[in-house]
Amino acid sequence: MKIYLDNNATTPVDPQVLDAMLPYFGEKFGNAASRSHSFGWEAEEAVEHARQQVAELIGADSKEIIWTSGASESNNIAIKGVAEKYADKGRHIITQVTEHKAVIDPCKYLEQHGFRVTFLPVDHLGRVDVQQLADAIKNDTVLVSIMHGNNEIGTLQPIAEIGRLCKQRGVLFHTDGCQTFGKVPINVEEMGLDLLSCSGHKIHGPKGVGAMYVRRKRPRVICEALVHGGGHERNMRSGTLNVPGIVGLGKAAELCRLHLDSEPARIAALRDRLKDGLVAQLDEVHLNGHPTERTPTNLNLSFSYVEGESLMMGMSEIAVSSGSACTSASLEPSYVLKALGVGDELAHSSIRFSLGRFNTAVEIDYTVERVVAAVRKLRAMSPLYEMAQEGVDLKSVSWARD
């Protein structure tokens, strides 16, 4: 039995999405920018329909949707594109420490190119303090970028409150919506969003395609393009459109919208079943991230005294991910968990379970049993567990290091 609980990393394409895409490879293969023949027109029609499907999911106008190669690109356009376009207005950007690297790295890049970036800290549950954000806004602040839901720990930021603040202060507000688009209700008006990044492959759509919401009214937002050459997508992203991918993303968005009232709740119930099952049989299990303000599909737990990679090895037929240093090429533990102040030892002991549309209760129950068995086995092998059982306060031990 192979079980996939790493849906925050990517998701299987929904069969309905694949069916919608297929005609656009061989049959309706036209370039959507070919204005002079029906091959182009039918591709364009499909692209415009997909724009509408995405827009409806977030309460936007379809003219406000730009196609990209994925949310990483959308984040880059939003941040670098706004910075460049509005550089005369100011060169200060505000973001926070638990953003995805696709937001942090463009910000760091801008720091090397004459911009100032404030990286706001988060509390122990992963939330930014809106008052701190308000205090950080200066006369030359042009952009605030705060993600909606965190990809590692699931914590939701107070987006609507931040949106209101940014509107008051006349600062553009971008949010990376990768983990919430299609899972949590989003309304760009109610949330005061100016820019939103969306990913296809996180919502059972194809990889290699994403979208951006770019506000057209009150105010009209323009991003300088990163990719020039033909002026596609309102001059913000040139290049022949990935028509099959776009059709897929549109269909995926539509499926999310049609089931937004029931699906997220169903998956959240499975997620809670997983958590409850584990907590009922194991002690010293810690939830990372906010207990209630979190995406419905995410469960990030630390199992004290057990290291994450060894735990994954002990349940190797179940796909999950870990914040442990041992699982990263750089041997650094998760910077998100560090930012929470979780402590390196618990960061090394963390496992992220992220559920999706195709997970079942049977899989969850099996996972509970496997995780419990693996944790027990590893605790029996753990010198830290042994010391804890003996009543040693691990924080008071001075460890021998090289």
Partner 1 sequence: MAYSNKVIDHYQNPRNVGALDRDDPRVGTGIVGAPECGDVMKLQIQVDEHENIVAAKFKTFGCGSAIASSSLATEWVKGRSLDEALEIKNTDIVRELALPPVKIHCSVLAEDAIRAAVADLKAKLEARRARAAETAPQAAAK
When asked if residue 263 is in the footprint of partner 1 (CB under 8 A), the reply is no
Give the binding-site size for partner 1 (rule: CB under 8 A): 30
Catalytic status, residue 326: yes
Position among 44, 99, 307, 363 found at the interface with partner 1 (CB under 8 A): 307
Q: Is 396 in the site for partner 1 (CB under 8 A)?
A: no
Residue 376: is it exposed, middle or buried by C-beta count within 10 angstroms (0-12/13-18/19+)?
middle
Per-residue burial over 144-172, b if 16 or more Cβ lie within 10 Å, else e, is bbbbbbbbbbbbbbbbeebbbbbeeeebb
Interaction between residue 90 and partner 1 (CB under 8 A): no
Residue whose CB is less far from partner 1, 261 or 390: 390
Rounded to 5 degrees, φ, ψ at 299 are -140, 115
Binding status of residue 84 toward partner 1 by CB under 8 A: no
Q: Which of 178, 198, 256, 326 is catalytic?
A: 326
**Reduced to 3 states, what is the DSSP secondary structure of residue 116?**
strand
313 binds partner 1 (CB under 8 A): yes
Using the rule CB under 8 A, which residue among 326, 362, 373, 392 binds partner 1? 326
Residue 179 near partner 1 by CB under 8 A: no
x-or-dash pattern for partner 1, window 348-387, by CB under 8 A?
x-------------------------------xxxxxxx-
Q: From residue 207, how far is each of 29, 153, 210 by CA, in Å?
A: 19, 22, 8
Nearest distance from C-beta of residue 100 to partner 1, angstroms = 22
H helices, E strands: number in the chain? 15, 13
Of 16 and 328, the one with the shorter C-beta distance to partner 1 is 328
Q: Binding residue for partner 1 (CB under 8 A) from 88, 331, 391, 393?
A: 331
- Sole window of 113-121, 199-207, 241-249, 393-401 interacting with partner 1 (rule: CB under 8 A): 393-401
Q: Residue 238 in contact with residue 229, Cβ under 8 Å? A: yes
265 binds partner 1 (CB under 8 A): no
Contact between 156 and 294 (Cβ < 8 Å): yes
What whole-number distance in Å separates Cα of residue 276 and Cα of residue 287? 11
Q: Is 261 in the site for partner 1 (CB under 8 A)?
A: no
The DSSP string of 348-386 is HTEEEEE--TT--HHHHHHHHHHHHHHHHHHHHT-HHHH
Q: Residue ranges of the alpha helices (H) in 171-262? A: 243-258
Tokens 């194991």, residue?
282
| Residue of 345, 365, 370, 376 that binds partner 1 (CB under 8 A) | 345
Known catalytic residues are: 326
- Contact residues toward partner 1 (CB under 8 A) are 305-307, 309-310, 313-314, 324-327, 329, 331, 333, 343-345, 348, 380-386, 394, 399-402
